[in-house]
Structure 1
């Protein structure tokens, strides 16, 4: 997944929390890990000056993510699950 695709996916999940539930049910661990990383890094304060509307929107979405239980996600665990899933996908099938 490219950086742009990852960012688009993260923004979609922040805008629509049902997509987070869907990603969890479908075991899309890498996407969830990217979302948690993005939320933990928070929105750069410089964005408040360069694009105030986007800054406010992202801040609201990240706050909603945490209020809906986003803090319960363990980043190390999600990354571990994502690595396992990637290895399983690469493993040759007999």
Structure 2
């Protein structure tokens, strides 16, 4: 299902992959620290972007159970502190670490 609210800024993941990864991490919050330790920055950035964009409102009409599940997961992610993550900052940090940004 295409979703215009969740902007995919990932050069490595398609929009569908980005959303799938974000939903996986959202529903498996115990995996987020593992992704951090494994330096899976693109996936973490997609997760952060999804958290900030929130659950697509259209799901409330098309799949109420999924909508409730994702809303609950978003709330739990914010309570766990993951709402402070910023996709753009994660991507910038990853680029710096990987030497893609040249400093003067």
Report the TM range for the smaller structure's normalisation: 0.7 to 0.9
Larger of the two Rg values belongs to structure: 1
Match of 1:91 in 2: none
Unaligned runs of 5+ in 2: 1-12
The answer to whether 1:58 aligns with 2:46 is no
Instruction: Normalising by structure 1, report the TM-score.
Output: 0.79
Aligned Cα root-mean-square deviation (Å): 1.9
**Normalised TM-score (structure 2):** 0.73
Structure 1 gap ranges (5+): 89-94
Total equivalences in the alignment: 88
Question: Could you tell me which of 35, 40, 53 is aligned with 2:52?
Answer: 40
Kindly indicate whether structure 1 or structure 2 has the higher relative contact order, using CA contacts under 8 Å at least 6 residues apart. Answer: 1
